[in-house]
Amino acid sequence: MHVEGNSQVRENNPGPLTFVAGGALRPTSKVLPEHARRHNRSLVLQTLYRAGQQSRADVARSTGLTRVTVSDLVAELMAEGLVIETGQREGVRPGKPATLLDIDRTIFQIIGIDLSDYSIFRGAVLDLDGQILSRAEIPLADRTGADAVSLVFALAEKLIGQATAPILGIGVGSPGVVDLGGVVLSAPNLGWKDVALQATLAARFPVPVVVANDANAAVLAEHSFGGAESDMMLIKIGHGVGAGLLLGGSPLFGSRFAAGEIGHVVVGTDGGDECACGKRGCLETWLATPRLDAKLAAAASSAEREETLREAGNRLGIALAPVVGALNLAEVVLSGPTNLLDGPLALATIETLRSRTMAEFHGDLTLRMTTLGEDIVMRGAAVMVLSGQLGVS
């Protein structure tokens, strides 16, 4: 079981970077002297993480740092084992070939856990590039409250046992409203209220832990591994409905950590089904996977099934139009069951969005399915750990 981490990295690192609201995920420029060393260290790591196989001179040009500063930081990172020399660049110019550097992508592994599905909790061991190395899952079996928390612990234990390298950290994407300390303030579908999930996991496992809303984790994955633009919204549809927002390369959490909690927005004035929150006609009653599955199962014909999906897409478009209009977003990404979302539902959503916003400003709006499939929250959880511990994404 590899949970001890790299002691030299812990000793020499000026403290783990905190994954906080308002911080850009990818540092791109120098900052004031009092913050310089940690920021510049992150700049070097970020450059190597995204580009790989760079010389010290390449890193200096990319970051704007001096060669002396880069050499000093590289020496420190090599002493910690985070950066390695991979060989020499051949045949570029006369003279001594440059020595190439890269992050040692085998030094750590990450545990990513996704609690967003209505029937199972799933998790994975990932490498530093966000690739899945092994998987595990535990059926939820309608358990809520403390019973559901115990399943999270059991899943984490199972995944730690599968790791084959020291663990950089554990990342968890949870449904509901989650504050920046990893407290699940409210997750009605799991029966959670003020559950200090991050703190309880950190007390049990001796590695860094970060817990965030599942849609916020998903939008980070789309940004880091899905090729998304810096300004985007991701709609996560599963046990409930939530959204993650990325503006100017930074995640938006909101003043009370509920940015993107659109599942309990009432869509329209024509009633609708009763929601778990007590209101009628919330977006979740139209779109949450269990609700939509049940409606489709009750449909008498393929035409009725298509109309059910189109109506759900229309309601989603109504809910999103003011957000798209206010933020002038260029891209909306859907994440959830492809058989439900990709087709009549997505078409109805984009039609409604375009009919309810100004064409000259929003006519080129793109709506697409994520390319990351059901792994998106687990990979986003890995991004949270990478960003918090190494300052890269």
Instruction: Report domain extents, the chain.
Output: 7-103, 109-219+376-389, 229-370
pLDDT band at 153 (very low <50, low <70, confident <90, very high): very high
pLDDT at 148 over 90: yes
> Looking at domain 109-219+376-389, which of 3.40.50.2000, 3.40.50.300, 1.10.290.10, 3.30.420.40 is its CATH number?
3.30.420.40
Distance of CA 19 to CAs 205, 250, 362, Å? 19, 11, 32
331-361 pLDDT, tens digit per residue, is: 899 999 999 999 999 999 999 998 998 866 6
Calpha distance 226→335 (Å, rounded)? 12
Calpha distance 311→309 (Å, rounded)? 5
* Residues 77/54, Cβ–Cβ less than 8 Å: no
Looking at residue 37, its pLDDT comes to 84
* Residues 54/280, Cβ–Cβ less than 8 Å: no
Task: Name which of 301, 365, 332, 392 is nearest 17 in CA terms.
Answer: 392
Calpha distance 186→41 (Å, rounded)? 37
pLDDT at 8 over 60: no
Distance of CA 151 to CAs 134, 137, 169, 293, 322, Å? 18, 10, 19, 25, 38
* Residues 389/19, Cβ–Cβ less than 8 Å: no
Q: Which two tokens stand for residue 287?
A: 């779109």
Calpha distance 49→54 (Å, rounded)? 10
pLDDT at 168 over 90: yes
pTM of this structure: 0.84
Between 370 and 18, the higher pLDDT residue: 370
CA gyration radius for the chain? 22
Q: Tell me which DSSP letter residue 282 carries.
A: B
pLDDT band at 362 (very low <50, low <70, confident <90, very high): low
Looking at residue 231, its pLDDT comes to 83
Residues in contact with 2: Cβ distance below 8 Å, sequence separation at least 6, in sequence order: 109, 160, 163, 164, 165, 166, 167
As a whole number, the mean pLDDT across the chain is: 88
Distance of CA 116 to CAs 5, 63, 171, 226, 362, Å? 28, 38, 13, 19, 30
pLDDT at 327 over 80: yes
Looking at residue 382, its pLDDT comes to 97
The residue written with tokens 């110019």 in the block is 93
pLDDT at 9 over 80: no
Architecture of domain 229-370: 2-Layer Sandwich (3.30)
pLDDT band at 80 (very low <50, low <70, confident <90, very high): very high
217-265 pLDDT, tens digit per residue, is: 999 999 999 877 768 899 999 888 989 998 887 888 777 666 778 888 9
Per DSSP, the three-state class of 226 is: coil
Least trusted range by pLDDT, from 9-13, 33-37, 166-170: 9-13
For residues 1-8, average pLDDT: 49
Q: How many other C-beta atoms lie within 10 A of the C-beta of residue 244? A: 30
Fold of 7-103: Arc Repressor Mutant, subunit A (1.10.10)
Calpha distance 124→382 (Å, rounded)? 10
Residues in contact with 36: Cβ distance below 8 Å, sequence separation at least 6, in sequence order: 30
Conformation bin of residue 90: beta by default, left when phi > 0, alpha when psi is -120 to 50: beta
Identical fold for domains 109-219+376-389 and 229-370, yes or no, is: yes
Between 89 and 387, the higher pLDDT residue: 387
The residue written with tokens 């079996």 in the block is 141
pLDDT band at 11 (very low <50, low <70, confident <90, very high): very low
Percent of the chain topping pLDDT 90 = 67
Q: If you count them, how many residues does the chain have?
A: 393
Dihedral over Cα of 83, 85, 90, 94: its sign = positive
Per DSSP, the three-state class of 133 is: strand
